[in-house]
Copies of this chain bind each other. A is one copy, B any other.
Amino acid sequence: MTAGNKKERNKAGETAIDGKNSQHEARDGVEIGLNAAIVALERNEPMILTVVSNGETQAANDHQHGRQYGLPFGRFEPLTHHTMEMGVRGFVEEQTGLKFGYIEQLYTFGDRGRVVPRVDGEMHVVSIGYLALTRMGEHNPVSAQWRSWYLAFPWEDWRQGTPEIIQQEIVPRLLEWAKTTRAKSRGGPVDPLDRVNICFGGGGVGWDDEKVLDRYELLYEAGLVYEAQRDGRRAAAEIKDPPWLGEPMILDHRRILATAMSRMRAKIKYRPVIFDLMPASFTLLQLQQSAEAVSGNLLHKQNFRRLVEQGGLVVATGKMSSETGGRPAKLYRFRKEVLLERRTAGIRVRR
């Protein structure tokens, strides 16, 4: 059953509002995939839990990337999982033995035309991405490994200054892409050069750490990430021997990870989600370095401390840590009561 043309089924005026008017063709050839970007911190590096593809299925036409990483993945089984979030918790624990606390839905991707061949036709996969946060070492994963998210997105780590890859590899190729694209599509909705500037902070526009997804999608369109070629997209700028940027991932998992990073970077600024990555007590420098790891840039130390303490986000526990290398530091813990006092409680510091 390949589910023929149903274009005419919903005519104007039928107002199919409860899905009841489709007695035949009950099976639709759609399944729900659940994907989790599970984040933890290890020595000030944001890590995500990955599983390794055996390189058989979709890496078949894959010359240089035989082994690819992916996010933990499972199917939504309505009869087993009462909710989709419980589905995510369930298959992650089954596959990797890992439990986590915080979970949040990111986005539902169905646009890339993911089709999986099956014995009786084709199965379309709609994948729902989730962001989950946990602490390193609480549970040890099996048959999965922690990897820095900056391996897939090297241009997102500005903690040691502007990454070289941006000026050396990305910007020149994107400018070339913008030129040829602009010539082709006169008067499109957005000027491609503007897009490059907005995404990568050129032409007076500054770098916006939250635009992780926009940048990935631009690189995909310009044919500069491996997935673009793998998905059969012809590079607009016809680049010879393109140096694929960042480590690729299977299917659309790198896109889901980009969504997770964008969400995470936006959210730490107005919600205290960073504490789901922290131990129960910590020094202010540890907290700052965690925020820096997530946002990918350095923060101003004094202002960070003042904001975080005076903002009521943390309180001193009274204990000290002398394992810091210098003067012993006060230990702090998250102060839950902020949520009652301020409507935005996060880490909003520059520099």
Q: Residues of B contacting A116 with CB < 8 Å?
A: 18-20
Interface residue tally on A, bucketed by range: 35 or more
At the interface, is chain A mostly helix, strand, loop or mixed? loop
Q: A205 near B340 (CB under 8 angstroms)?
A: yes
Residue of B nearest to A113 (CB): B82
Q: A19 near B84 (CB under 8 angstroms)?
A: no
Within residues 77 to 131 of chain A, which ones have a CB less than 8 A from any CB in chain B? 77-80, 82-85, 91, 94-97, 105, 107-108, 110-111, 113, 115-116, 118-121, 123-126, 128
Q: How many copies of this chain does one complex carry? A: 2
Q: A18 near B58 (CB under 8 angstroms)?
A: yes
Q: A15 near B57 (CB under 8 angstroms)?
A: no
Within residues 38 to 58 of chain A, which ones have a CB less than 8 A from any CB in chain B? 51-53, 57-58
**Contacts from A to B (Cβ < 8 Å):** 2-3, 5-7, 10-20, 22-24, 26-33, 51-53, 57-58, 70, 72-80, 82-85, 91, 94-97, 105, 107-108, 110-111, 113, 115-116, 118-121, 123-126, 128, 142-144, 194, 197-198, 203, 205-206, 208, 250-251, 339-341, 343
Given A26-B121, A30-B76, A197-B340, 15 other A-B residues pairs in contact with their CB atoms under 8 A: A3-B79, A5-B79, A6-B77, A15-B52, A16-B74, A17-B72, A24-B119, A26-B118, A28-B77, A29-B78, A32-B32, A85-B111, A108-B108, A108-B128, A205-B340
